[in-house]
Amino acid sequence: MLNKKEKYNVAIMGATGAVGTQFLWILEERNFPIDDLKLLASERSAGKKLIFKGKEIAVEVLTKDSFEGVDIVLASAGAARSKEFLPYAVEAGAVCIDNSSAYRMDDEVPLVVPEVNFQAITKNKGIIANPNCSTIQMVLPLKAINNISPIRRIVVTTFQSTSGAGQQNVLEMEKQAMRLGKKESHHEIGDHTVSKDTIERFQHQIAYNVIPHIDVFEDNFYTKEEIKMVNETRKIMDMPNIHVTATCVRVPVYYAHSESVNIETESKITRDEAIKVLGAFSGITVVDSPFENKYPMPIDTEGKDDVFVGRIREDESIENGLNMWVVADNLRKGAALNAIQIAEDLIRMT
């Protein structure tokens, strides 16, 4: 467990990546109580200088000896490196908040979204898991609704931005869009496709397209990303038997994931009741004036901390159903911000 201090020694694993950069920005924005900040990455980033509170900090190579004197580790270096290095951090006395999938379904590791299950933080044995980005934004409105009527079933379709797959995938989308922008469209087959040499990281062209395929397919024909949403939702909500099904889609958007969420509750919840309970829940902003064309969209959500919910309406196909449209910045609440909120609660509860 963390020892109580006024300020803490913090290490960021994967400091030069997209989430690592967000860690730096958000730690500064929230004036996190840092005494010493250590930036860790692979050998190819060693010596690179990053700015924190106006000062340059050199990136160090991540090794098993990197954690001496470190109190809190914010990890976003991938599952393999978390599995390899976080045990050394725990052995050195640090508490680790891991953004990878490495420990999420480990029974000994709490999986935490602070607005939903902050109390699970106290059960950590040195590692706390940060959930998948698409799961994080969904469980906030689920928790708000579940507080007034237990949820029986969840059907979710995600529309996930390219940044969720990494910065290089964003660049691939841009490269394809630039090439297509130079073509004259005659509305013929093939006018809106790119050459195969621009398809490197995604399975198919992403520019002006959607791909219903995130991560690898499993034997049951669901993708690993879809199964993550099922299992993580059950664990975070502490509802192991709740029925959840997901379809995860990659869309040509820079930042922020969107989700169409349909739920069935035990008792009837009206649209007005849902708006009231969602609007009162910490971390949620309701944007729902459809006749004024006001609803959450990715371009309005970039850089924002809250989860935005709109298009709230009763599902007329079943007795106790609700539909919601849920949008959040996948690099902030979906990753770095949630991890830092966990660290803040960890300090508060120490």
Dist. CA 305–CA 292, nearest whole Å:
24
Q: Pick the catalytic residue: 96, 133, 187, 213?
A: 133
Q: Pick the catalytic residue: 192, 204, 243, 257?
A: 257
CB 142 within 8 A of CB 275: no
Gyration radius of the chain over CA positions: 21
CB 340 within 8 A of CB 26: yes
Does residue 96 carry a catalytic annotation?
A: no
Dist. CA 180–CA 170, nearest whole Å:
16
Tokens standing for 210?
């959607």
Is the C-alpha dihedral spanning 300, 175, 334, 156 positive or negative? positive
Strand 307-315 to 284-286 pairing: parallel
Dist. CA 256–CA 162, nearest whole Å:
9
Residue 14 carries which side chain, given as an amino acid letter?
Answer: G
CB 279 within 8 A of CB 311: no
Strand 55-58 to 49-52 pairing: antiparallel
Tokens standing for 108?
């000994």
Does residue 257 carry a catalytic annotation?
A: yes
Question: 3-state class of 301 per DSSP?
Answer: helix
Residues known to be catalytic? 133, 257
